[in-house]
Amino acid sequence: MLPYKNLIIIDKTSHIAVFKQIAVQFIGLIQKGKLLPGTKLPSTRALAYDLGLHRKTIMAAYDSLVSEDWIDSLPRKGYIVSPNLPFVKPRSYNSNGLSAYENEPGFIFDSLSSYINPSSPSKKHELIIDDGLPDTSLLSPGIMLAGYRKALDYPTLKKISTGWDLEGSLDFRNSLCHFLNQTRGIDITTENLLTARGAQMAIYLSASLIIKPGDKVIVSDPSYFFANMIFERFGAELIYVPVDHDGMCTEVLEELLKKHSVKLLYVIPHHHHPTTVTMSTARRNELLILIKKYQIAVIEDDYDYDFQFEYAPYLPLASGDHEGNIIYIGSLTKVLGAPFRLGYIVAAKKFIRSAAKQRLLIDLRGDVFTEQVVSGLIENGELTKLIQKANKLYRHRCHFAAELFAKQLGGIVQLTKPNGGMALWLQFKNDFPLAKVIANAKGLKIIGSVYSKERNSNFNAFRFGFASLNDEEIIKAIDILKTTIHK
């Protein structure tokens, strides 16, 4: 008899039934070839004694293995490892054998690796510079927990479990609709609204309905990288329009619209990603005229509208006269924090209905639980309070960081203070070894967008998310950068 006592380890604190633990470990021994087909197993009595368990437990384990064809029960002979084992190789996915799907070219974004570092665990005391994420310490755990408690209440949970609003839970859409009408100068009903997992899914869904392979899509240069990837995923040909200090250049845009038949325009008028520029009123007006003149579909990505902390916010393009051509996309992720992905699409009813059906295929029910919680935060005013508190803080941090960069790295870093948002766009001269400096900045981990000449980008710049950093951290980050540069 094999030393089963050493081969089969029972974890009595585990919540997996003991008989199942035994069965799974027998399967392991068979799979690994330690128990070959035809091998006789110990009697239930002997194994029970050996493992210090009740015999019935061993019988349950054996019965389970018999029913699965791993072992056979021979009359009067006991149990043997099945001689006709259907499964004889290790059930691992790490074999070097070819799998049918692995040969597929698939859909690999090799370019991605230069933008995202697979998250190596941060070293202790390493300061993370993000792409422009909110300060999660602003989120009150108490308020959130009160929301979770309410949503977990049985009648509520039952309601959101069995309800199935294709466009997102009705409670949330009602609250959000009211919030958007109050803050965005638009006039929509819940039928114009679809919820999605962050702005990302909202862009994906919209693009999937609009773009066919070969279609031309205009984006700014640079533009939000992950949106570009979506458009390319659907086979679009991207056409680039430069961005200057007034936003997307509408003069260049018009020339392009004259020349090409364009299907879609993607625009970020507030704190453009990555450059943080806000589009001027003049450009906005020109853009609205072009949209109507050329009748193009427009995705307005307004992901951090709520953070226009300088006086007198701009309203979105969608609040202007666009003859319904603008698909307005926003998100509460920049308010609540990166882990909470509540995006939305505002568009004509028919488009929303189609996008909702498209969403069904990707995310059957949407995040109705978080929607329920956040609906409460909108209703009780906590969301607005959070936005106000954050704006005050981010305004300070924006000025503080911008001024400190000017003071400490004025000759090297070029930046224009944005009128809102959560990040600075730090530009460097063409011959500045940006990627090298970032790699060598000890104690600093840059996880946001980096465009560098060394990586054949047209730009030499990176986004410095200030919103999540306190003064001390901003001082430290700039200090590390300065030290690294002057080394």
Q: Is 182 helix (H, G, I), strand (E, B) or coil?
A: helix
Query: Quick count: other Cβ atoms within 10 Å of Cβ 140?
Result: 14
CB closer to its own copies, 104 vs 472? 104
Given CA atoms 327, 321, 179, 417 in this order, what sign does their dihedral have? positive
Length of the chain measured in residues = 487
Q: Report, in Å, the least distance between residue 42 CB and its own copies.
A: 20
CB closer to its own copies, 197 vs 453? 197
Q: Report, in Å, the least distance between residue 253 CB and its own copies.
A: 15
152 touches its own copies (CB under 8 A): yes
CB closer to its own copies, 26 vs 405? 26
Residues within window 90-119 making contact with its own copies, judged by CB under 8 A? 90-95, 97-102, 104, 106-109, 112, 116, 118-119
- Please give the DSSP secondary-structure letter assigned to residue 342: -
Q: Are 208 and 264 in contact (CB under 8 A)?
A: no
Query: Quick count: other Cβ atoms within 10 Å of Cβ 237?
Result: 15
Distance, in Å, from the CA atom of 289 to the CA atom of 297, rounded to the nearest integer, reads 13
Q: Please select the residue that binds its own copies; options are 296, 329, 342, 415, rule is CB under 8 A.
A: 296
| Pair of tokens at residue 344 | 């939305």
Query: Quick count: other Cβ atoms within 10 Å of Cβ 156?
Result: 16
What x-and-dash track marks residues 332-361 binding its own copies by CB under 8 A?
-----xxxxx----xxxxxx-xx--xx-xx
Nearest CA to 47 out of 59, 63, 33 is that of 59
Q: Please select the residue that binds its own copies; options are 312, 431, 472, 486, rule is CB under 8 A.
A: 312
- Residue the block writes with tokens 């690796």: 113
225 touches its own copies (CB under 8 A): no
What x-and-dash track marks residues 123-142 binding its own copies by CB under 8 A?
-----x-x--x--xx-x-x-
63 touches its own copies (CB under 8 A): yes
Instruction: Name the amino acid, one letter, at 299.
Output: I
73 touches its own copies (CB under 8 A): no
Residues within window 255-284 making contact with its own copies, judged by CB under 8 A? 264, 281, 284
Q: Report, in Å, the least distance between residue 406 CB and its own copies.
A: 25
- Please give the DSSP secondary-structure letter assigned to residue 189: -
164 touches its own copies (CB under 8 A): yes
Q: Are 173 and 167 in contact (CB under 8 A)?
A: yes
Inter-CA distances, 433 with 114, 402, 486, Å:
15, 21, 12
Residues within window 19-38 making contact with its own copies, judged by CB under 8 A? 20-21, 24, 27-28, 31
Residues within window 426-455 making contact with its own copies, judged by CB under 8 A? 447
Q: Please select the residue that binds its own copies; options are 295, 416, 458, 483, rule is CB under 8 A.
A: 295
CB closer to its own copies, 122 vs 410? 122
Nearest CA to 176 out of 163, 186, 162 is that of 186
243 touches its own copies (CB under 8 A): no
Residues within window 464-483 making contact with its own copies, judged by CB under 8 A? 468
State the Cα angle at 77 between 75 and 83, rounded to 5°: 90
| Pair of tokens at residue 132 | 């422009």
122 touches its own copies (CB under 8 A): yes
Q: Please select the residue that binds its own copies; options are 1, 7, 16, 36, rule is CB under 8 A.
A: 16
Q: Please select the residue that binds its own copies; options are 44, 325, 375, 449, rule is CB under 8 A.
A: 325
